[in-house]
């Protein structure tokens, strides 16, 4: 089966450690890849085109759903503006490694907002009136950290080290601001 390595993308909605199901769907491992509109997606487009030709030959349906979607469709979601987004899924758990090709075991290290690349395959589908091409998620490599989409901070950023008994204590929060309830 033909596969490609994607360009770098920003991760959104990662479910790469535990399968996730929407409503009555079968649980799958999945993630959404956010690519800058200037990214070179030619290898992925060729892979998708090959999958469509393999399924339908020269008679590719005009109403075929593309896996390449405009981020403006999801303007209410952080990070989608000005991006192309692509969903990739798998029934099998993908391998997840860091930039040094070491397995990532701590699920908090791979999060919505970090940057990664993936190996993907493409397949065409024709089910219940829906026809299109999708990407199968094979493996993922985290390339670098990014601003988390959740807005949640790390515990190490919220707290100072505990002072030993008898030493002066500073109980002020790290980033205290004026209270609206004063």
DSSP readout, 102-130? -B---GGGS-TT-EEEEEEEEEEEEETTE
Question: Would the pLDDT of 168 be above 80?
Answer: no
- List, for residues 86-98, the tens digit of each pLDDT value: 999 999 999 999 9
Strands of the chain (E only): list them. Answer: 4-5, 9-20, 28-36, 69-70, 83-90, 95-97, 115-127, 130-144
pLDDT at residue number 163:
83
Average pLDDT for 111-122: 97
- List, for residues 133-161, the tens digit of each pLDDT value: 999 999 999 999 999 887 667 778 888 88
The values of phi and psi at residue 14, to 5°, are -80, 130
Q: What is the dihedral of CA 83, 37, 82, 88, to 10 degrees?
A: -10
Query: What is the rounded distance in angstroms from the CA atom of residue 52 to the CA atom of residue 49?
Result: 5
pLDDT at residue number 22:
83
Q: Are 97 and 142 in contact (CB under 8 A)?
A: yes
pLDDT at residue number 32:
97
Question: Would the pLDDT of 172 be above 60?
Answer: no
Question: Would the pLDDT of 182 be above 60?
Answer: no
Nearest-CA neighbor of 38 among 84, 71, 78, 69?
A: 84
Question: Would the pLDDT of 6 be above 80?
Answer: yes
For the whole prediction, is pTM greater than 0.75? yes
Q: In a 10 Å sphere around its CB, with 0-12 CB exposed, 13-18 middle and 19+ buried, how is residue 77 labelled? A: middle
DSSP state of 161: P
Query: What is the rounded distance in angstroms from the CA atom of residue 102 to the CA atom of residue 125?
Result: 34
Average pLDDT for 70-97: 94
Domains in the chain, start-ordered, CATH in brackets? Answer: 4-158 (2.40.50.140)
Q: What is the dihedral of CA 39, 108, 100, 80, to 10 degrees?
A: 0
Average pLDDT for 55-59: 91
Q: What mean pLDDT value characterizes the chain?
A: 90
Q: How confident is the model at residue 67 (pLDDT cuts 50, 70, 90)?
A: very high
């Amino acid at each position: 089966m033909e596969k490609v390595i994607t360009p770098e993308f920003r991760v959104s909605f990662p479910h790469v450690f535990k399968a996730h199901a929407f409503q009555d769907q079968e649980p799958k491992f999945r993630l959404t890849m956010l690519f800058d509109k200037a990214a070179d997606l030619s290898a992925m487009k060729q892979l998708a085109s090959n999958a469509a030709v393999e399924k339908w030959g020269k008679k590719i349906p005009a109403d075929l759903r593309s896996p390449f979607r405009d981020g403006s469709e999801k303007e209410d979601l952080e990070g989608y503006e000005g991006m192309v987004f692509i969903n990739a899924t798998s029934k099998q758990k993908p391998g997840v490694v860091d930039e040094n090709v070491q397995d990532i075991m701590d699920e908090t290290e791979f999060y919505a907002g970090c940057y990664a690349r993936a190996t993907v395959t493409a397949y065409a589908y024709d089910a219940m009136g829906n026809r299109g091409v999708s990407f199968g998620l094979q493996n993922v490599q985290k390339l670098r950290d990014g601003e988390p989409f959740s807005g949640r901070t790390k515990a190490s950023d919220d707290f100072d080290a505990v002072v030993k008994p008898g030493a002066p204590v500073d109980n002020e929060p790290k980033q205290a601001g004026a209270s609206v309830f004063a």
